[in-house]
Amino acid sequence: MAFLSNLDISVSGMIAERARMDVIAQNVANADTTRTAEGGPYVRQNVVFTENKTYSRRGDTSLSAIEFRTVLGKHLEELRGLAGRGRTQTLDGVLLTQVVEDPTPPTPVYDPSHPDADEDGYYYLPNVDVAEEEIDMLAATQSYSANLTIFNSMKAIANKALTIGKQ
């Protein structure tokens, strides 16, 4: 059924935007973190989305496509922390492929009394701009809402199609 793949696409968009919102929330929470376990200030994270190339109107059921979807689902589980919970993503649509660090350098602040100050008296603030994160969160929220609207519309169309023969 073609409408099921449309539902998959909108659901994959909602999953991806929720993961994006999680990363944004992590960035905001660590906007003032000057020391991490790795040493140095927190580094802003960004998500990378790609198109799920497994999408096909006819449905690719070849062994290689099934193996690819399984491997991809396991990789996504690891990225989202779902490994071992029995959940996989084999949805058509958008995929969260990786979370990358922002290459923008941290902001130096001169304060020799700060516990994280180096020998020159500077400590470094994370490269997180809270205003930019708020804008990204608004964009992610709007994208999530758009996918939810599409999902609900497709669900309503499917329900209406099922009631056509009852009259």
Q: What is the pLDDT of residues 32-81, one digit of tens each?
A: 999 998 888 999 999 998 887 654 444 444 444 444 445 555 555 565 55
pLDDT band at 88 (very low <50, low <70, confident <90, very high): very low
Does pLDDT of 2 surpass 70? no
Which residue bears the tokens 């708020």?
134
pLDDT at 165: 74
pLDDT at 46: 93
Does pLDDT of 110 surpass 90? yes
* Tokens linked to 147: 């996918």
Average pLDDT, the chain: 80
Q: What is the pLDDT of residues 31-43, one digit of tens each?
A: 999 999 888 899 9
- Partners of residue 48 on adjacent β-strands: 98
Does pLDDT of 85 surpass 50? no
Alpha-carbon gap, residue 5 to 59, rounded angstroms = 9
